[in-house]
Amino acid sequence: MNMPKCSLLAFAFVILPSNLLAVSAQKSTDDLVQCLTDRTGKNVTPTFIRVIHTPQDRTYTPIYDLLLQELRFMTNSTPKPQVIVTPLIESHIQATIYCSKKHGFQIRIRSGGHDFEGSSYISKVPFVVLDLFSLNSINIDIKTATAWVHSGATLGQFYYAISQKSRNLAFPAGYWSTVGVGGHLAGGGYGALLRKYGLAADNVIDALIIDVNGAILDRSSMGEDLFWAIRGGGHGNFGVIVSWKVKLVAVPEIVTVFKVNRTLEQGATKLVHKWQYVAPSMHEDLTMTTNQ
């Protein structure tokens, strides 16, 4: 009787010592830092400002913690970036994209740090944080009622810059002054002027984005599909948005703001229930919100 032939499979398991894995990871980080140094060193202006920050640098922890608005991520177990890059010019961003791709690191992009899920400074794989806080210039054109604002500027900086130019112009964005413009506009952005002027992203008319290949694109060159996507779809998903061109809106020189405080014993539940029916029918110049 013929017996069926059996195929034998051989399995080989190779377990690398933990110290070898650590050495390999450190070499990758060193290669990344060297790549960044080579590509940013020629373009640093001024040269005494540090752009690349590693855990061995005194600047690393203060910068990481500076814009960390979600304190639950300020723990020893929270994954930390191998490198933080604080670009001063566009070529620093291009260098970060190039070197991160070359050496296999993900990029997380942070502006103001108001990121409830921590996706702008946390990753499960080796990563780099591209922190845009140094890119915060604001250029306002009163004649056209428009402004170019860098992603690293905060809403507070933007509002103040507008107020120094005009008392009858504003931008319809959020309430918190420390929120970064980049993340706010890329996520939609809502605030006190929402009912009359819509989301902050609705008032974006152009943008400069650096794509995965390092190309700098404006609205015309990126196309309308991408321009639509970055206004609410998150700028970290499509590239690094360097700056935004927005239209400013008309506001009265004097506005009225007031609060009505009620406890549960004073009928707060009934008041909130009534508010849900009244607020939508009010004039668009009046915004009514509830806060806990």
Q: For residues 169 and 146, what is the distance between their CA atoms, to the nearest angstrom?
A: 10
Residues 118 and 89 in one domain: yes
In the predicted structure, residue 21 carries a pLDDT above the cut 90: no
Last residue of a domain, one of 131, 160, 177: 131
Per-residue pLDDT at 235: 60
Residues 163 and 233 in one domain: yes
- Cβ neighbours for 161, distance < 8 A, ≥ 6 positions apart: 138, 140, 147
Helix/strand/coil for 282: coil
pLDDT digit string, tens, across residues 162-182:
999 999 999 999 999 999 999
From residue 31, give the alpha-carbon distance in Å to each of 21, 27, 68, 107.
Answer: 15, 6, 27, 16
Give the domain CATH number at 180. 3.30.465.10
Residues 123 and 146 in one domain: no
Give the domain CATH number at 57. 3.30.43.10
Residues 126 and 145 in one domain: no
Q: Quote the pTM value.
A: 0.84
pLDDT digit string, tens, across residues 213-252:
999 999 999 999 999 999 988 766 789 999 999 999 999 9
Last residue of a domain, one of 131, 165, 185: 131
Does residue 11 belong to any structural domain of this protein? no
Residues 234 and 200 in one domain: yes
Q: Which domain holds residue 292?
A: 258-292
In the predicted structure, residue 22 carries a pLDDT above the cut 80: no
Last residue of a domain, one of 216, 234, 250: 250
Q: Mean pLDDT throughout 135-139?
A: 96
Residues 154 and 242 in one domain: yes
Q: Mean pLDDT throughout 120-149?
A: 94
| Total count of domains within the chain | 3
